[in-house]
């Protein structure tokens, strides 16, 4: 075996062991940052390691205690997804193949797969055929990418060329978003030089109030405007009322963008598609593949109805590049050099098929409903949100008790659930996003919550 093969074999062995441990290991990490630093050794070695396999061995054994079981079935913090097996294995190939996926002509395999996966995604998510699909690092950058296309387009309509003249001295772009939008939207707007959005009131579940949106738009008068809507609130799972909100935005000739990092996938289920109904009328949409679709980190998706608008914002011309008149992958994302993210997305979709994606979405929702029902049955516990999708927010009588329950639950180690503050109260916030979560994981977690609340 040559040294490279030995290193890969060692990595494979450790990966298989790690994945095999997920169903029973404690979910929180068992070692601290300092523990891991000590185990690795802080000194930069003067000389090469004996073999690459030795390096892999040291890395794996020193880090293993400091790993959190993110890809397991009982991690319900943030919204994290997991690694569907075909996607995970494909991701290894992506590293081995090491294709730079910027140019259509130079990486034909990736371009083919990107085109195929892009068309499948539009179909599954009910988005307009022919929209441009860009593969980004995550939903933050997908939001950035879509909003860049929107910013440039609304300014172009009033005769201002951002690519050439920048923002300085140009007309102000109004951006309106619901008060319950995700902070990643603010981040994307900041990167784009658009400042903070004007916030439109939302209802008790976080849904933008479309009449208030309509009034704010009318009060501001004409001018370059962007409206940001949301599919899937991180606390309640709620979806904005797309048909009415987009109607209001259209009356003001605004560019409409939808942040659907995990919620856009409701469209792939006939049972939940009513939640996203109307959102296909928007101009752009951002989602993650590393959340609901369960491809390994990192992978976000930017969809823009008008491919020309995206190309105007992201495309470039370089004398040494080999460009294709049909457009190149780099015309659709901020990066030039990048890894072959479409390979993993294609593998997840090819592995699940249409019904598998539907089942995945519905299973996550079903587990969330089981959590809500189980928690509602506990003494002094209340589920605060309408559980319409994959998110559950509960509190345990008062903020102090809720904190204590969360602390005890983490110490218990059966599951990982984060706390948050929602509508002025401390809450236990559950996000079901992992493909491998089973009914047994849910009941083991409910037992742990029961113990923590006792």
Ligand X SMILES: *Cc1c(COP(=O)(O)O)cnc(C)c1O
Residues making contact with ligand X (CB under 6 A): 79, 138-140, 182, 184, 232, 234, 259, 261-262, 288, 300
Containing 429, the helix (H) or strand (E) segment is strand 425-431
Q: Which is nearer to ligand X, 143 or 402 (CB)?
A: 143
Closer to ligand X by CB, 139 or 368: give it.
139
Please state, in angstroms and as integers, the Cα–Cα distance from residue 367 to each residue in 46, 163, 266, 420, 454, following that order: 52, 47, 15, 20, 23
- Beta carbon nearer to ligand X, 47 or 183: 183
Closer to ligand X by CB, 71 or 138: give it.
Answer: 138
CB of 137 to ligand X, least distance (A): 7
Cβ atoms < 10 Å from Cβ of 198: 14
Nearer to ligand X, 160 or 303 (CB): 303
Residue 427 Cβ vs ligand X, minimum distance, rounded to whole Å: 16
| 360, 352 Cβ separation under 8 angstroms | yes
CB of 333 to ligand X, least distance (A): 14
Select 172 or 190, whichever has its Cβ closest to ligand X: 190
Q: In the complex, what is the shortest distance from the CB of residue 300 to ligand X, in angstroms, rounded to a whole number? A: 5
Q: What is the dihedral of CA 338, 343, 348, 353, to 10 degrees?
A: 130
Distance in Å, CB of 143 to ligand X, minimum: 6
Residues in the chain: 454
Q: Are 119 and 301 in contact (CB under 8 A)?
A: no
Torsion angle of the four alpha carbons 385, 387, 390, 392, in this order, in degrees rounded to the nearest 10: 40
DSSP one-letter code for 430? E
Backbone angles phi, psi at 19, to 5 degrees: -65, -35
Smallest distance, ligand X to C-beta of residue 237, A: 10
Rank residues 70 and 262 by Cβ distance to ligand X and give the closer one.
Answer: 262
Which one, of 445, 431, 438, 454, lies nearest residue 79 by Cα? 431
Closest CA to 137 of 193, 191, 180: 191
Q: Are 344 and 93 in contact (CB under 8 A)?
A: no
CB of 185 to ligand X, least distance (A): 7
Q: Which is nearer to ligand X, 259 or 280 (CB)?
A: 259
CB of 136 to ligand X, least distance (A): 8
262 or 330: CB nearest ligand X: 262
Is there a contact between 109 and 100 (Cβ–Cβ < 8 Å)? no
Q: With respect to ligand X, which residue has the nearer C-beta, 76 or 396? A: 76
Closest approach of ligand X to the CB of residue 104, in Å: 26
| Cα distances (Å, whole numbers) of residue 100 to 71, 333, 339, 343, 411 | 27, 14, 6, 12, 44
**For ligand X, which residue has the nearest CB?**
138
Give the strand pairing for 300-304 and 391-395. unpaired
Each residue of 374-391: b (16+ CB within 10 Å) or e?
A: bbeebeebebbbebbbbb
In angstroms, rounded to a whole number, what is the distance separating the alpha carbons of residues 435 and 325?
39
Cα separation, 235 vs 419, in Å, equals 10
Q: How far is the CB of 407 from ligand X (least distance, A)?
A: 25
Tokens 């083919």 found at: 112
Joined tokens for residue 259? 């942040």
């Amino acid at each position: 075996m040559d040294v490279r093969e030995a290193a890969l074999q060692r990595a494979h062995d450790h990966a298989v062991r790690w994945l095999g441990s997920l169903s029973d290991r404690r979910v929180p990490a068992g070692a601290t940052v300092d523990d891991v630093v000590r185990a690795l050794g802080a000194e930069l070695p003067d000389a090469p390691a004996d073999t690459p396999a030795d390096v892999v061995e040291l890395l794996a054994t020193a880090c293993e205690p400091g790993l959190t079981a993110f890809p397991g079935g009982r991690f319900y913090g943030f919204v994290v997804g997991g690694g569907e097996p075909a996607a995970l294995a494909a991701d290894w190939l992506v590293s081995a193949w090491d294709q730079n996926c910027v140019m259509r002509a130079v990486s034909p395999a990736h371009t083919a797969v990107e085109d195929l996966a892009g068309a499948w995604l539009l179909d599954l998510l009910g988005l307009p055929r022919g929209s441009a699909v860009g593969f980004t690092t995550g939903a933050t950058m997908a939001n950035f990418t879509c909003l860049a296309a929107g910013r440039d387009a609304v300014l172009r309509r009033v005769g201002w060329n951002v690519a050439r003249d920048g923002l300085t001295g140009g007309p102000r772009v109004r951006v309106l978003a619901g008060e319950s939008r995700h902070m990643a939207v603010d981040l994307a707007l900041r990167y784009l030089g658009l400042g903070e959005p004007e916030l439109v009131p939302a209802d008790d579940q976080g849904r933008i109030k479309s009449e208030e949106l309509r009034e704010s738009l009318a009060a501001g008068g004409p001018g370059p405007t962007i409206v940001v809507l949301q599919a899937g609130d991180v606390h309640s799972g709620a979806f904005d009322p797309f048909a009415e909100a987009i109607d209001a935005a259209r009356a003001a000739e605004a560019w409409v963008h939808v942040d659907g990092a995990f919620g856009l996938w409701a469209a792939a289920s006939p049972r939940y598609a009513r939640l996203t109904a109307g959102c296909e009328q928007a101009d752009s949409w951002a989602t993650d593949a590393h959340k609901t679709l369960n491809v390994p980190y990192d992978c976000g998706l930017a969809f823009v109805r008008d491919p020309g608008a995206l190309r105007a914002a992201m495309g470039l011309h370089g004398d040494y590049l080999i460009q294709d008149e049909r457009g190149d992958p780099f015309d659709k994302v901020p990066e030039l050099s990048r890894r072959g993210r479409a390979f993993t997305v294609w593998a997840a979709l090819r592995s699940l098929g249409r019904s598998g994606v539907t089942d995945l979405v519905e299973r996550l929702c079903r587990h969330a409903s089981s959590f809500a029902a189980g928690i509602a049955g506990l003494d002094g516990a209340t589920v605060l949100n309408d559980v319409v999708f994959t998110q559950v927010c509960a509190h345990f009588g008062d903020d102090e008790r809720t904190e204590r329950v969360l602390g005890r639950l983490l110490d218990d180690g059966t599951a990982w659930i984060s706390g948050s503050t929602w509508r002025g109260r401390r809450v236990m916030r559950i996000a079901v996003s992992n493909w491998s979560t089973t009914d047994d994981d849910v009941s083991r977690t409910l037992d742990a919550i029961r113990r923590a609340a006792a």
